[in-house]
Amino acid sequence: MTGPIEISEHVFIPPTAWRMTAVRASGPGGQNVNKVSSKVDLRVDLEAVVGLTESARARLRVAAEGRLDAEGLLQVTSQKTRDQPRNLEDAFDKVRAMVRAAMVEPVRRKKARVPRGAVEARLSNKRHTAERKRGRSVKVGAEG
């Protein structure tokens, strides 16, 4: 695939913003794993994503913090399958998922208001407890 990575209708990554290298995969696979470069190492320039808002770009940078290399490129690898094109598509899917997650505006937490009845009940209970404790104390010098 040499075209842009489509993320949504208006958001995409142009082909100039990503580069792919194929390397030897690790793990089981016998002779195939030793002679075929099926693992895909995809590097994406996050600043070149077209159609992304600045707030979404900032969220994407925070989400990708551990995957950024020295140049500031997002590094994604895939070695799920024995087939290089399928691994490339899997790496594209990982990038799409990260960008889509960053595009979602986080929901702001609304501060809960304590109902007036609950405040009144708490204060009434507090007064009642204080009155009960005050009644337990012995008043010295009150009798005469």
In the chain, where are the structural domains located? Answer: 5-103
Q: 74-103 burial by CB neighbour count: b if 16+ within 10 A, else e? A: bebbbbeeeebeebbbbbbebbbebbeebb
Q: What number of other Cβ atoms are within 10 A of residue 31's Cβ?
A: 7
Sign of the torsion formed by the C-alpha atoms of 86, 88, 89 and 94: positive
Q: Categorize the per-residue pLDDT at 142 as very low, low, confident or very high, splitting at 50, 70 and 90.
A: low
- The pTM of this model reads 0.72
Is a pLDDT exceeding 60 seen at residue 64? yes
Arithmetic mean of pLDDT over the chain: 88
Q: Which CATH number fits domain 5-103: 3.10.200.10, 3.30.590.20, 3.30.160.20, 3.10.20.340?
A: 3.30.160.20
Q: Give the tens place of pLDDT for each residue, 75-107.
A: 999 999 888 899 999 999 999 999 999 999 989
pLDDT recorded at residue 143:
59
pLDDT recorded at residue 81:
87
